[in-house]
Amino acid sequence: TIEETLVLIKPDGVARNLTGEILGRIEAKGYQLVDLRMVQPSRELLAQHYAEHEGKPFYEPLIEFMESGPVVAARVAGHRVIEGFRSLAGTTDPTTAAPGTIRGDLGRDWGLKVQQNLVHGSDSPETAARELALWFG
């Protein structure tokens, strides 16, 4: 089944000039870039995007980090792309993310209150639909 997922290149990825490298890995895997935009996200958009994390200790630092600079949002399509992109991205903590993954190869732990881990990918079909509507309308 062809799925669609929302991929975000977070402000650390854009600032470190890794946009091309990250999009290249998505394309090289065989997934299709259906839509692409660079956004300066508002606090309102981020609060909606991260509603499930409200109240967690990293919530405020996460919102501040995400609004610290432009983000690249991509609508990406492919067979099982939701699971597949999360596999390409690697686990949340860049220190222990497997080498070969985006976070494992390119990410590092900066010792901050929030993991600046380069990318976000939707975690289920329901989340993907909700997040794509938020970022692409």
Which residues are designated catalytic? Answer: 120
Stretch that binds ligand CMP, among 17-25, 28-36, 113-121, 125-133 (CB under 6 A): 113-121
Residues that bind ligand CMP (rule: CB under 6 A) add up to a total of 8
Least Å distance between CB 115 and ligand CMP? 4
Q: Which residues contact 104 (CB under 8 A, 6 or more apart)?
A: 90, 94, 97, 98
Distances 90 to 33, 41, 102 between C-alpha atoms, Å? 20, 24, 6
Known binding residue 127? Answer is no
Least Å distance between CB 47 and ligand CMP? 13
Does the protein bind ligand CMP through residue 5 (CB under 6 A)?
A: no
- 3-state helix/strand/coil string of 14-67: HHCCCHHHHHHHHHHHCCEEEEEEEECCCHHHHHHHCHHHCCCCCHHHHHHHHC
Binding ligand CMP by CB under 6 A: which of 114, 129, 130, 134?
114
Q: Which residues bind ligand CMP (CB under 6 A)?
A: 53, 58, 62, 92, 114-115, 117, 120
